[in-house]
Amino acid sequence: MTLIQRTIDGFARSYSHAPDGVTFAPGRVNLMGEHVDYNDGLVLPMPIAAGTAVAWRARPGDEICAVALDLGEARDRFKKASPEPVEPVDWRAYLRGMAAEMRAAGLPVGGAELAIAGSIPRGSGLSSSASLCVALGRALGAAAGAPDPSPDELALAAQAAEHRWAGVQCGIMDQMAIAAGTPGSALLLDCRSLATRIVPLPLGWAVMIVQSGVRRGLVDGHYNQRRRDCEAAAAVLGIPMLRDANIAMVEGAKLDETVRRRATHVVNEIARTEATIAGFERADLVAVGKAMRASHASLRDLFAVSVPAVDDLVDCLNAEIGLAGGARMTGGGFGGAVVAILEASAVTRVTAAIQKVYHSPCGDPLEIMIED
């Protein structure tokens, strides 16, 4: 059964009538540019086939009712004009946050009945929370009888929901990739201007996403501390954001050694994003693979957001792929997924090999997704 049909059926079971419609938002995998979005840098994410579906039906009045089909059909009900925060943070925080932040931005929000389901593994580093927010934003707007908000409007409301309602001080990459991306292509995003450009995946290339088996959490995983480290570096350098720095500035400044490592990663990662885009445009898989390997080493050694199981998985993939491509951790870190870019003709061989040589810490079979 497809995700859309499962969501429609769950809605009918929960409310005893059919929905008016269904919205969908994909997840995303970040190909290059990790932890640079909140530094106003350049990133290269890609929407994926997995995502979040929200079946909706407009209802008169101020009330929003929702059921989370994947969470034991847990329910929520609140007034759209006065949602209350949720502690501890769970799916309801994102729902209430989207209703509040869309209204604060002047975007229409209708009274609604909602049923939510997804196909993105939670804690995988594939942005299930941003996917949820964007899908909810589209459903709440549709219930008000309004056209879809622009990608920028939807992404900014979703980011605000993460910041103010979930306590994660994320950048804008996930939300923009999901709201503005095109399936089968990467999206070059300038996180300062929000300018975007579609970057097609070269013919004969594939993107492989492999779950490490280590579930991650952004707040518990010190994501917010990494952002504070970057802000501290920018303050010492006397610049608005690390986007404005270069390596000479970082090496010459009187920075705490930990802060210096964080800043070094960000400056070099932005350059790696530019190199990766150039590699895509030349269809140079060797150059892209080199950037992927360097990015993972930097995230492991300078930004300190990898974990041993993820490092092992990256090493296994890089050994099997060889020089024509490469692998790196993807997402905020501390577990989750690994992304590889490789020749499409090598996918079957690499998949078979990695299933033999890598063993998930939890003992579960490997989850492997292919995007091409």
| Active site residues per annotation | 174
Distance (Å) of CA 219 to CA 7, 216, 230, 334 = 29, 9, 16, 11
Buried b (16+ CB within 10 A) or exposed e, 181-202: beeeebbbbebbeeebeebebb
Q: Which residues, including other chains, have CB under 8 Å from residue 328's CB and lie 6 or more apart?
A: 34, 292, 293, 295, 296, 299, 314, 338, 339, 340
Question: What is the three-class DSSP state of 33?
Answer: coil
Distance (Å) of CA 174 to CA 29, 158, 235 = 9, 9, 26
Amino acid at site 11: F
The C-alpha angle 370, 197, 105, rounded to 5 degrees, equals: 100
Tokens of 177: 């990739």
Helix axis angle, 128-143 relative to 173-180, nearest 10°?
50
CB 104 within 8 A of CB 152: no
3-state secondary structure 133-197: HHHHHHHHHHHCCCCCCCHHHHHHHHHHHHHHHHCCCCCCHHHHHHHHCCCCEEEEEECCCCCEE
Q: What is the Cα–Cα distance from 7 to 56, expressed in whole angstroms?
A: 10
Tokens of 97: 């946050």
- What's the number of CA atoms in the CB half-sphere (13 Å) around residue 204? 8
Q: What is the Cα–Cα distance from 237 to 272, expressed in whole angstroms?
A: 22
Q: What is the Cα–Cα distance from 352 to 356, expressed in whole angstroms?
A: 7
Cis check for the bond before 85: say yes or no (omega within 30 of 0). Answer: no
